Chains A and B, each alone.
Chain A
Amino acid sequence: MVSETITTPKSRGAFASFWNSFSENRGAVIGFYVVLAIVFIAVFAPLLAPYNPLEQFKGETKLPPFWIHGADSKYWLGTDAVGRDMTSRLMYGARISLFIGLSVMLVSMVLGVILGLASAFYGGIVDVIIIRVMDLIMAIPSLVLEILIIAVTGPSLLNTVIAITIVYLPRYVRLLRASAIAELSKDYVTAAKVSGVGKLRLMLVTVLPNCTAPLIVQAALGISDAILEASGLGFLGLGAQPPTPEWGAMLADTRDLMQSHPWVMALPGLCILITVMAINLMGDGLRDALDPRLRKS
């Protein structure tokens, strides 16, 4: 419903000028291309992956990646403790991490926009309740709150998404509430009110498009934070459950191999780091390009 009523007023010229200032930042462009590559791998994992990520090859366990002596050319990045192909597992892992990052971002953003707008427009008791609940969520350290939610719901991929969505909700609510309140005092909103625009239209069509710049920046950074958070839960055994090839859970699986076969542990962590870093680089570039007020360099 929401997406239908929002019309993006951006013309081609606006996009060109955005791309101009975005591409000024070399790091942001590199980040953008790395993210594109990861998205490509995630989407086409079934076609790109040489093997089924869950298939165990007996007698071919703990093989090293190609640059270490003793590698088998059949398995590029080697195999794990039970003989599963690392390349395939890492590719499918990109799928899971991006799925978590995107779904947390989308759900918390949509809910955050609704609650933030409601809070700004209705004020009074609605505002007080929403803000109090957000304060409560923020009072509990992120991982501790996630542990609480997962203790009740049980560990799984879906519950990971739910827990992290709840934890990240306050960011969007507060952001949207603050920018909507700032917009509400401006002349164009008064003009719209005077000309008899309905409340829903005022919220979604008049005010919301003017709050999108900081929202997009927050959304980009929200994806990388969610990926990091989910891999932490996976590492603690509270996220995606084995044999799901989730990067954090893969890392936890291989802790006892750390000394003898360090690459099995090193690779999933490296994937997390690269993905999160690329999204953060892109997010920094987005902030500089979209929100000149926040530009500080």
Chain B
Amino acid sequence: MIKFLFKRLLLTVPTFVALMFITFLMIRLVPGDPIEVRRGERGISPERLEMLRHEMGLDQPIWKQFGDYVWGIFHGDFGISVISKTPVLHEFLTLFPATIELSFFAMLIAAGLGIPAGVFAASKRGSVYDQSLMGIALTGYSMPIFWWGLILVLFMSNTLHLTPVSGRTDLIKYFYPAVTGFATIDSLISGQKGAFADVLRHLILPSIVLGTIPMAVIARMTRSAMLEVLEEDYVRTARAKGLSTYRVIGIHALRNALIPVITSIGLQVGTLLAGAVLTENIFSWPGVGHWLTESIARRDYPALQGGILLIATIVIIVNVLVDLTYATINPRIRYGK
């Protein structure tokens, strides 16, 4: 197991190096003067330009600059945002909990509805229920989520006044210190009456929007995994033993069908983060996705560079963890190639 972990981690090293190289190149390829790009200033005097060039190490050979960049990264230096003048890492870590929270609830909705829908569709294969559930899944899978979000806001918030339009919490009514950065936990700790419910009300629409595509993928995947498992001998044996349909499907079949489904949930982290960029934009959700598009609009390239590097690193790490879980469940993977 340790050998597998070591091998798997070793495989990520070239990916990570290439990633650092690409983000390093990116800021150099952006049109415009490199110093103005990094400082966000315009019309800098030639003397000051020379001074800044030296200060930022831009007069060094390119390999030395890359070395410094890598050195900085390993010491937690991901550059400084042009707009806020604060370290990119600090900004990212402040915003990231909001994205995790949103993604977590989105996945909760996606798995909570997608898995039962898939199991039900498989058990009633070919029926009207199966066809309509798979029709809904196909619609979800084809959904432009930014439009879906706006439509939901239109009905739920503007017409029916059930949910707030945007943000994480009602800042006028409730105030609580950001202890963990997770609004659900912070509002509970603060003990303010109604604060937690308010946070949940803000969470519901963005979570549904972000969870729509994963939900459709999970439902389709669960259905096909269940159909495969239902033809296995042990399911037939369980049926022959006279077990109830509920026990056969819910316990014998589902347990085995869930393995590929859980893996696919783990591997959707990247998809989820990409979806978060759009979802956070619609709901003005103060997470990293919104921050990333704001950065590009403000031409804050250092923030963009650091943000992309951090997001990709997180996805790489999560994928290793998923592989590891999978190898624990299924030993054949470990001894494979």
Contacts and interface: CB of A to CB of B under 8 A. Distances in A.
A, B: real partners: yes
Interface of A: 27, 132-133, 135-136, 138-145, 147-148, 150-152, 154, 224, 228, 231-232, 235-238, 248, 251, 255, 258-259, 262, 265-266, 268-270, 272-273, 276-277, 280-281, 284, 296-297
Contacts of A132: 14-15, 18
Nearest to B312: A140
Interface string B185-225: 00000000000000000000000000000000000000110
A151 B26 contact: yes
A152 B278 contact: no
B52 interface: no
Interface in B208-244: 223-224, 227-228
27 contacts: A27-B138, A132-B14, A139-B316, A140-B19, A140-B311, A141-B274, A142-B271, A143-B274, A144-B273, A144-B274, A145-B308, A147-B296, A148-B23, A150-B296, A151-B30, A151-B304, A231-B146, A232-B144, A248-B144, A248-B146, A251-B144, A251-B150, A259-B154, A269-B150, A277-B138, A280-B141, A284-B138
Contacts of A248: 144, 146
A232 B146 contact: yes
Given A142-B274, A258-B150, A296-B228, A154 B18 contact: no
Interface centre among B30, B146, B296, B297 (most CB of A within 10 A): B146
A144 B150 contact: no
Interface in B287-325: 292-293, 296-297, 301, 304, 308, 311-312, 315-316, 319
Nearest to A133: B18
Contact of B144 (A154, A237, A276): A276
A258 B154 contact: yes
Given A148-B304, A258-B158, 13 more contacts: A27-B138, A133-B18, A136-B15, A139-B315, A144-B311, A147-B293, A151-B26, A238-B293, A255-B150, A272-B147, A273-B147, A276-B144, A297-B223
Interface centre among A145, A150, A151 (most CB of B within 10 A): A151
A254 B198 CA distance: 29
B266 interface: no
B245 interface: no
Given A140-B308, A262-B154, A276 B278 contact: no
Contacts of A150: 296
Tell me whether chain A's interface is mostly helix, strand or loop, or mixed.
Answer: helix
A142 B154 contact: no
A152 B30 contact: yes
A143 B319 contact: no
A43 B47 CA distance: 58
A297 B224 contact: yes
Contacts of A272: 144, 147
B151 interface: yes
A146 B75 CA distance: 28
Interface residues of B, number: 51
Contact of A259 (B30, B158, B319): B158
Interface string B26-66: 10011100000000000000000000000000000000000
B277 A143 contact: yes
Contact of A236 (B15, B26, B293): B293
A297 to B, nearest CB: 7
Nearest to B155: A262
Contact of A251 (B142, B146, B227, B301): B146
Contact of A237 (B23, B270, B297): B297
A141 B273 contact: yes
Nearest to A235: B146
B278 A143 contact: yes
B281 interface: yes
Contacts of A144: 273-274, 277, 292, 308, 311-312
A147 B308 contact: yes
Contacts of A269: 144, 147-148, 150-151
B263 interface: no
B142 A276 contact: yes
Nearest to B272: A141
A152 B26 contact: yes
B125 interface: yes
Contacts of A273: 139, 142-144, 147
A232 B278 contact: yes
5 nearest interchain CB pairs?
A269-B147, A143-B274, A141-B274, A296-B224, A277-B142
Contacts of A266: 151
Given A147-B292, A231-B144, A152 B312 contact: no
B293 A235 contact: no
Contacts of B31: 152, 154
Contact of A141 (B14, B151, B223, B315): B315
Contacts of B278: 143, 232, 235-236
A145 B296 CA distance: 13
A128 B277 CA distance: 32
A133 B223 CA distance: 33
A112 to B, nearest CB: 19
B19 to A, nearest CB: 6
B144 A228 contact: yes
Contact of B277 (A236, A258, A265, A284): A236
Contacts of A145: 308
Contacts of B281: 235-236
A148 B26 contact: yes
Contacts of A148: 22-23, 26, 304, 308
Nearest to A229: B274
B12 to A, nearest CB: 8
